[in-house]
Amino acid sequence: MIKICIAEDQEMLNTALTSILNLEDDLEVVGSALDGKTALQQITLHQPHLVILDIEMPEITGLEIAEELRKTHFSGKIIILTTFARQEYFERAVKAEVDGYLLKDNPTERLIQAIHNIFEGDTIYAAELVRHMLRSDLNPLTEREIDVLRKIAEGLTTQGIADNLFLASGTVRNYISSILSKTGAQSRIDAVNIAKGHGWLS
């Protein structure tokens, strides 16, 4: 069972999301909040596996919550769900290493699928935002993802990368999935070429 906390200041949407997610056999909303301060309290209390955060909320914003959770080494997954495609918000989300940044106008089925994929280790960013990011040359990759990409560029297999970086092969696969999502690449080699083209891979 994936335990979820929702922070969304629009009460109708909050209630609707809670109801829809609770219909899934393996999802359970254990806490919901209409403002950031209450959300942080709920997350601390329930220690969910995954949190869904709106960006603009009273008291504390969703981005501030994400940044605070990373500082405290929160072990769960973080999804930003927003109507805002603003570049500065997205850049902060990337720096906070959120696991998903999704737009609210996506179908509910896509959100549910994204929750499952993210819980399994994927990183999912809205395609519209990835395109903006690529145009801005902002490097969305973490240092560890860059390490993995360098090994891909050297021609190593997944197992070879795992052995070289002292990681589990499943962890390497998760990093590769994240790299493909963040760069919008169709393949590993495509990701290498994109990264080199933007100067992210020296």
- Specify the pTM: 0.69
First-to-last C-alpha distance (Å) of the chain:
42
Per-residue pLDDT of the chain (202 residues; tens, 9 = 90+): 999 999 998 889 899 889 999 999 999 999 999 998 999 999 999 999 999 999 888 888 999 999 999 888 888 999 998 876 677 777 788 888 899 988 887 788 888 988 998 988 888 887 766 666 655 567 888 888 889 999 999 999 999 999 999 988 888 998 898 888 888 888 888 889 888 887 888 6
Question: Do 91 and 37 reside in the same domain of the chain?
Answer: yes
Question: Do 76 and 12 reside in the same domain of the chain?
Answer: yes
**Cα 107 from Cα 56, distance rounded (Å):** 21
Residue 77: what pLDDT? 94
Question: Do 148 and 76 reside in the same domain of the chain?
Answer: no
CA distances from 88 to 80, 84, 92, 94, 111 (A): 14, 10, 6, 10, 23
Question: Do 81 and 25 reside in the same domain of the chain?
Answer: yes
Question: Do 41 and 131 reside in the same domain of the chain?
Answer: yes
179: which residues sit within 8 A by CB, 6+ positions away? 141, 145, 148, 149, 185, 188, 191
Question: Do 181 and 113 reside in the same domain of the chain?
Answer: no
162 within a domain of the structure (yes/no): yes
Residues 162/169, Cβ–Cβ less than 8 Å: yes
78 within a domain of the structure (yes/no): yes
Residues 133/141, Cβ–Cβ less than 8 Å: no
Question: Do 29 and 83 reside in the same domain of the chain?
Answer: yes
Question: Do 23 and 90 reside in the same domain of the chain?
Answer: yes
101 within a domain of the structure (yes/no): yes
Give the CA angle between residues 22, 24, 29 to the nearest 5°: 30
78: which residues sit within 8 A by CB, 6+ positions away? 50, 51, 53, 66, 69, 70, 96, 98, 99, 100
In this structure, what DSSP letter does residue 37 have? H
Q: Which two tokens stand for residue 38?
A: 């209450």
66: which residues sit within 8 A by CB, 6+ positions away? 53, 78, 80, 93, 96, 98
Q: What total number of domains does the chain contain?
A: 2
Residue 134: what pLDDT? 58
Residue 137: what pLDDT? 62
Residue 133: what pLDDT? 60
Choose one of 94, 113, 135: the last residue of a domain.
Answer: 135
Residue 81: what pLDDT? 87
- DSSP-based three-state secondary structure for 105: coil
Question: Do 116 and 187 reside in the same domain of the chain?
Answer: no
192 within a domain of the structure (yes/no): yes
Token look-up 């933007």 returns 198
Choose one of 117, 135, 153: the last residue of a domain.
Answer: 135
Residue 106: what pLDDT? 78
Q: The domain that contains 168 carries what CATH number?
A: 1.10.10.10
24 within a domain of the structure (yes/no): yes
Q: Exposed, middle or buried, 159 (CB in 10 Å: 0-12/13-18/19+)?
A: exposed
Q: The domain that contains 30 carries what CATH number?
A: 3.40.50.2300
Question: Do 171 and 102 reside in the same domain of the chain?
Answer: no
Quote the domain boundaries for residue 161.
139-197
202 within a domain of the structure (yes/no): no
Strands (E), the chain: 2-7, 27-33, 50-53, 77-82, 100-103, 124-125
72 within a domain of the structure (yes/no): yes
Question: Do 23 and 111 reside in the same domain of the chain?
Answer: yes
Residues 78/101, Cβ–Cβ less than 8 Å: no
Question: Do 63 and 123 reside in the same domain of the chain?
Answer: yes
Instruction: Give the model confidence (pLDDT) of 162-173 as tens digits.
Output: 999 998 888 899
